[in-house]
Amino acid sequence: MKRILFFILGMITFVLGTIGLFLPILPTVPFYLATSFLWINSSKKWHDYFIQTKWYKAHMEGIIERKEMTRSQLSKILGIVFVTLAIPFFIVPSSLVRVILVLVFVAHCVFLPMYFRRKEEVY
């Protein structure tokens, strides 16, 4: 019963995330993260399949299992965070919102490198 409930909730969050692509009111990323969590936990078979994929092994295994991240991975993440926070920074005229956005970005720059160990890049 739990697996069926997880699968149905995953379908609902997937639909809401997809609607969020077109409506700025709904956040897309949290719904898609919830979808992946719910679907992977709805079936042992899907979980095992997902962790054996090339994409997971190449991009996620070190980050999730060993909390390691290369310098390029970290810079890509911080670049995405910068662009994401820069959009409302320039659109919203409130000084308080701008200060909060800058603080959030600085917190990402400080705490992400502290949380993830540096993984040596292989060329």
User: What pLDDT shows up at residue 47?
Assistant: 79
Are 89 and 115 found together in one domain?
A: yes
> Cβ of 118: how many Cβ atoms within 10 Å?
11
Domain annotation covers residue 57: no
**Per-residue pLDDT in tens (0 to 9) along the chain, 123 residues:** 888 999 999 999 999 988 988 887 878 888 888 888 898 888 888 778 878 888 778 777 887 788 888 888 889 889 989 998 999 999 999 999 999 999 999 999 999 888 887 766 555
Are 44 and 84 found together in one domain?
A: no
Are 41 and 75 found together in one domain?
A: no
Domain that holds residue 77: 67-123
Domain annotation covers residue 43: yes
Round to the nearest angstrom and report the end-to-end CA distance of the chain.
47
Are 81 and 118 found together in one domain?
A: yes
Cα pseudo-dihedral 76, 26, 36, 6, rounded to 10: 160
CA 109 to chain centre: 16
Are 46 and 72 found together in one domain?
A: no
Domain annotation covers residue 87: yes
Are 75 and 29 found together in one domain?
A: no
The rounded distance, in Å, linking the Cα atoms of 107 and 103 is 6
Among candidate residues 75, 82, 90, the one with its CA nearest the CA of residue 121: 75
The rounded distance, in Å, linking the Cα atoms of 83 and 79 is 6
The rounded distance, in Å, linking the Cα atoms of 40 and 93 is 41
Number of domains in the chain: 2
pTM: 0.60
User: What pLDDT shows up at residue 122?
Assistant: 55
